[in-house]
Amino acid sequence: MYSFVYITTSGVSESKKIAKILLKEKLVACTNIVPRIESTYLWNGEIEEDSESLLIAKTLSNKVPEVTERVKRVHSYDIPCILEFEIKSGSPDYLEWMRSELLD
């Protein structure tokens, strides 16, 4: 099984930092960064608005717990958004490439 890990960060520099760590440690095969997203959320009972960056990491589903723990250790937020979305299907060649990168 394969998964996307959806991670919001304080900005592009934090997204790049986390992406490089995850790639170097072979926890993910590929990442995408959306430089700017507008987030509205509840925090301590108040509505907050922030500009953030979105980091999408592609990995094997069995690596998601490790990815989550690693991100939590280096992320600047007290409670970072780290969500898993399972990939049901996709290009067999791409999925095989991901698997081969992470199982070397």
Could you state, in order of their start, the residue ranges of all structural domains in the chain?
Answer: 2-103
Quote the pLDDT of residue 102. Answer: 95
Asked if the model's pLDDT at residue 104 lies above 80, the reply is: no
Quote the pLDDT of residue 5. Answer: 98
Assess if CATH 3.30.70.120 describes domain 2-103.
yes
Name 6's bridge partners: 56, 83
Q: What is the pLDDT of residues 13-48, one digit of tens each?
A: 999 999 999 999 999 999 999 999 999 999 999 999
Asked if the model's pLDDT at residue 78 lies above 70, the reply is: yes
Asked if the model's pLDDT at residue 58 lies above 90, the reply is: yes
